[in-house]
Amino acid sequence: MTRRLLIVLLNTDPRNPEELGGPFYHAAVAAAMDYRVDVVCTATAGRLMRKGVADQIHIKPGHPKTVHDWIMEAHDQGARFWACPANLDLFDMTEADLIPECSGMMGAAAMIRDLMEGECRVLTY
């Protein structure tokens, strides 16, 4: 049985907060079920890995819970978060700009290798 879930945020746009709850909720639930969960934030979703960005986004207007709270909950359950190295250049960031929950970088080659050679299921958003 496959024990790893790879969640790729590629088409999820932080400017549309309603798109952000599902991926982080799914990551938290899968991790709580003892699956190995890796969440890769790339393209525009890569902005979420920058300190201060997810803290300013609320999925539901007026609700105190931020997207960073959702990320922290998934991380606390065991989900690992990865930034795309290309995003650092795209958004003028360094690794020092990344949130503490980010485990580091996962580039395209590593992600594709895992998809093609690894035992994992993939959800994309």
pLDDT along the chain (125 residues), means of 10: 94 95 97 98 97 97 95 98 95 97 96 90 96
Number of domains within the chain: 1
Signed CA dihedral, 29, 32, 37, 38: sign only? positive
Given a contact cutoff of 8 angstroms between Cβ atoms, the answer to whether 103 and 51 are in contact is no
CATH code: domain of residue 11: 3.40.1260.10
Which domain range does residue 83 map to? Answer: 4-124
Residue 118: predicted pLDDT: 80
State the pLDDT at residue 2. Answer: 87
Packing angle of the helix pair 21-32, 67-77 (nearest 10 deg): 20
pLDDT for the residue numbered 41: 98
